[in-house]
Amino acid sequence: ETGVTQSPTHLIKTRGQQVTLRCSSQSGHNTVSWYQQALGQGPQFIFQYYREEENGRGNFPPRFSGLQFPNYSSELNVNALELDDSALYLCASSLPNRGSGANVLTFGAGSRLTVL
């Protein structure tokens, strides 16, 4: 059983550029959530994908967008990068939470983005 893998692990961009981060979910998991974690803060929910559709979104502008593919892997795209977008971006996969079931997340190691 493979865990969640993210790429790239580190990257540096300049303001105004665009970035794509990739995530392969854990085997058997069909739900992917993305989080942004600024230095010294807790992870902030960006959005979740289930069956290739967005299934909930946090308080992030439209320049944060995503995709989920038929194999459940996912991408996070950020356009028009700003300095404040510098953070650790975490992908997590899970089984769907239906009813009162628990949404236990399996996280990847993250992609650290620095915007200069």
Footprint of another protein on this chain (CB under 8 A)? Answer: 4, 31, 33, 35, 37, 39, 41-45, 48, 50, 55-56, 58-59, 88, 90, 92, 96-97, 100, 102-110, 112
| Neighbouring residues of 71: CB distance < 8 A, sequence distance ≥ 6 | none
Q: Least distance from C-beta 16 to another protein, angstroms? A: 26
**With respect to another protein, which residue has the nearer C-beta, 59 or 71?**
59
**With respect to another protein, which residue has the nearer C-beta, 13 or 60?**
60
DSSP-assigned letter for residue 15: T
Its sign, for the CA torsion 96, 102, 108, 110, is positive
CA distance 37 to 43: 4
**With respect to another protein, which residue has the nearer C-beta, 16 or 85?**
85
